[in-house]
Structure 1
Amino acid sequence: MTSTTSTPRRAAAAAFIGTTIEFYDFYIYAFAAALVLGQLFFPSENPMLSTMAAFGSFAVGFIARPFAGMVFGHLGDRIGRKKMLLVTIVLMGVATTCIGLLPTYAQAGIWAPIGLIFLRLLQGISVGGEWGGAVLMASEHAPKGRKVFFASFAQWGSPAGLLLALIAFRCISEMEQDTLMSWGWRIPFLLSGVLMIVGLAIRFGVPESPEFAEVKDNDQTSANPVLEVLTKGWKTIIFAALAVTIGSGGFFFTNTFMITYVTQYQGIAKTTILNCLFLVTILQFLSQPCSALLAERLGEGRFLKWVATLCIIVPYPMFLLVQTGNLFYMTAGITLAVVLLAALYAVIAGYMAEAFAARVRYSGISISYQLGSGLTGGLTPMIGTFLAGYFAGEWWPLAAFFSVLALMSLIGVQGLAHQRIVNRASDAVSPLQGVAP
């Protein structure tokens, strides 16, 4: 199967637009959890407990992602990447739209949070299957030597989806509080149904990945890709999961927990932090493709090591600037951190994809990424909220927590670089080319 010269660009564009829609859905839940869901679905006399409960429901989506990565990874390596991406975008669109239709605790009692958690679980399942397929549709269509850059288009959907989510919540934040809590919060969720139709139309127009098609045509698909990659590539999976830690956990630290931190503990207005994050996300959106191009020139492994090291240092100046409460300084501090962690996020997808063979690649990268992001991305807002409450008035424990996340990524990048060397050396004798024996 051959691709036309325009197919790689179409595949990259489809990956970008599809993940933009998926991450929009995922991020609006994050913002809603930080701003309104605690009061609406988990009412309590203690605001911190309500917020913790809302962030707990947020974490449910991450808990589902590793299991979804296995299921969709298996199916994606068996029957194709494109089919799985059509399923995931429908699942996400339906789940998110239904959240916008849910009755609140005051209207339905205990059934309201139960329904919310169930739909959040479906969101997590969708993203768990989406990410690996989007990365592979972009990278496996890419010209030789450009796989990491083309894979970064799937990652580019994260800041784009975040921008859409910020715009949506910035608009409804102007409403009167009673209107916002009554029905205004539902609008961003209901818009997901429209975006789902757009995403489906775009994805139907992109052919199946040529690398998967070749594997299937040669009858080389794995009978059980998940089991195969877990038994023969487990070291690569562990290092890849560690490598994505700051890329996932760091984002939800700066874009989800930070909203709660500055509004509840610093007394800063919601509109101020939302304006700040909007400016930060624009800069992230502009910087990510530049980071991927720079990594191509410098060497992806070297680039990732430097960025992970800088991420260990960056939370300290970030918090010093955030403490000022000044929009300009807050934006500068958070931008400094986000641009660095976004640089790692942009490059890591293609870098880890190259560590697995095509026959088990969907399973390998899905399990790795969803394991890393599930453990850190989902728990980060909860851990941050706990630390902020326990060390009231102190920011250094929060900065230290961010540094630990970055250190985990540095260890993962170092190990992944070593595994890639081992894998290349074993290519001549291993039938699982690119998977560690």
Structure 2
Amino acid sequence: MAHAASSTQQPVRAAVAAFIGTAVEFYDYYTFATAAALVLGEIFFPSHDPFLSTMASFGTFFVGFIARPLSGAVFGHLGDRVGRKKMLVLTMFLMGIATTGIGLLPSYATIGIWAPILLVLLRILQGIAVGGEWGGAVLIASEHAPPGRKTFFASFPQMGSPAGLILSLLAFRFVTSLDHASFVSWGWRLPFLASFVLLLIGMAIRLGVKESPEFERVRNTNAAAKYPVAEVLRTAWYPILLAAAATTIGSAGFFFTNTFMISYATAWLGMSKSFILDCLFVVTIIQLLSQPVSALLAQRFGETRFLCCAAVLSMVTPYPMFLLVQTQNAVAIVAGISFAVVTLSAIYAVIAGFITPAFPTRMRYSGISIAYQLCTMIAGGTTPLIGTMLAQRFSGQWLPLAAFFSVLSFVTLVGVVGLGRYKRNQLAMAEWAPPSGRNA
């Protein structure tokens, strides 16, 4: 009886641990993103031109994304060889140390060029940590899930993203209430230093979760891939590209509506930092509540159909979003951004469960990590930079920005359609394969 109860509780425990751990990691990541939009340019890249300082700050933000595909490959290899749980504990430790270190960094005025150099190095460490985090968190939740509920359980680590953002926005809402001199001097550091406390909480929770049962079965039967990264790149490069395309708006969209939108609202529309942060805080709560609903709907009506509908809607949403943001009315801003965020977060909630079955268990960590981190480097990390350049080039006009958002959504639509077809073909081949499986 005790064993049966433990077996029943473990999927829930794994999902909750994936959610809380991912929330802590994304708190760290979004803390850097928010600080990049608000203050890091002034602290580490001082210039007479605020545009140049902002671009340098977002450039440092992008550096973290460069490390993510390589990190995804390294942690994917280790996760497929050694286990999912050990990698999740290691990535959380690395993220907590990097984020706390940023909070302790001296400014450019204090140590000169070493300040931005050290900032870049710690940002790379953040990228390494989150590059290995996502795939492990998704698998520890989905591979513990009961049959028929993998999409819903895989959405739990996805909810860690808005939860981490809520924590980050709360932290910055508190410190931006300080006068400007205090905020620039020491206030901006507090959200980074708080990461150490969250690190201890997250580590304690993750250490209490068992290894994935699907991975254990592969390991116990000696079926683990010897070189999973090499194998997945050789045999599954096509689904990797499709999965990367399918995750585009789910990754890049958040950096558009959160990171870039802070800069756009303050620099081009003249809103106060605290005002736009308050609006985004409400939007993120709506996102957090909507994501599990999206996962349940996708599980009910079919993932491919649901994702295609969400991607088409996401192509339309930026136009009313910008029209409402231009009013500078709090209710209108929340409504406009929420409209866009609910549609793209519907994709984000479901995409993990959608792409995971495209790869066999023995090289699954490697496959989904490489695909997702490739997408985040190309689309996610460049989105604030491209948005800032478009706003500067077109004097803050919103139509080119909305068109850019639509293009990102269209790439996702293409990826979803292609990967859905690929999975159907693979299933058909498996059903028609001879008993020996030689042609499977």
Normalising by structure 2, we get a TM-score of: 0.97
Could you say which residue in structure 1 is the equivalent of 2:121? 118
Q: For residues 188 and 366 of structure 2, what CA distance do their matches in structure 1 show?
A: 36
State the partner residue of 1:279: 282
Q: Deviations over 1:219-246 (max 9, x none)?
A: 0000110111111111100000000100
Instruction: Name the residue aligned to 1:253.
Output: 256
Structure 2 residue aligned with 1:54: 57
After superposition, the C-alpha distances for 1:292-343 in whole angstroms (9 at most, x for unaligned) are 0111111111000000011011100100000101111011000000000000
Q: 2:366 aligns with which of 347, 363, 381?
A: 363
* 1:374 equivalenced with 2:380 (yes/no): no
Aligned residue type for 1:12: A
Matched residues in 2 for 1:232 and 1:262: separation?
45
Check 1:32–1:393 CA distance in 2 against 1; reply closer, same or farther (3 A cut).
Answer: closer
1:72 paired residue number: 75
Name the CA distance, whole Å, in 2 between partners of 1:351 and 1:427.
18
Residues 321-371 of structure 1: CA deviation (Å, up to 9, x unaligned): 001011110110000000000000000001100111110000000000000
Aligned with 2:266 (options 263, 266, 272): 263
Per-residue displacement from partner, 1:110-153 (whole Å, max 9, x unpaired)? 00000000000000000000000000000000000100100000
Count, aligned residues: 434
Q: Which residue of 2 is the match for residue 324 of structure 1?
A: 327
CA separation of 1:261 and 1:212: change in aligned 2, threshold 3 A:
same
CA deviations on 1:178-222 (whole Å, 9 max, x unpaired) are: 100001100000011111111111011100000000000000000
CA distance in 2, matches of 1:29, 1:389: 23
The answer to whether structure 1 residue 98 and structure 2 residue 101 are counterparts is yes
State the partner residue of 1:398. 401
Whichever residue aligns with residue 331 of structure 2, its letter is F
TM-score by structure 1 length? 0.97
Alignment equivalent of 2:29, drawn from 26, 31, 38: 26
The equivalent residue for 1:213 is 216
Aligned-pair Cα RMSD in Å: 1.5
Match of 1:359, SS?
Answer: helix
Deviation of residue 427 (structure 1)?
Answer: 2.9
The one of 158, 166, 179 aligned to 2:169: 166
1:303 equivalent in structure 2 = 306
Instruction: Report the Cα offset of residue 374 of structure 1.
Output: 1.3
The percent of aligned pairs where both chains have the same amino acid is: 61
Other structure's SS at 1:421 match: helix
Runs of 4 or more, structure 1, over 4 Å off, are 428-431
Q: Secondary structure at the match of 1:100?
A: helix
SS of the aligned residue for 1:4 comes to helix
Tell me which amino acid in the other structure corresponds to 2:26. Answer: F
Instruction: Name the SS of the counterpart of 2:226 in structure 1.
Output: coil
Residues 18-54 of structure 1: CA deviation (Å, up to 9, x unaligned):
0000000000000000000000000111100000000
1:85 is matched with which residue? 88
Where does residue 294 of structure 2 map in the other structure? Answer: 291
Offset from partner CA, 1:159-178 (integer Å, 9 cap, x none): 00000000000000000111
SS at match of 1:219: coil
Matches within 5 A, 1:148-227: 148-227=151-230
Counterpart AA for 1:267: G
Structure 2 unaligned spans of 5+:
none
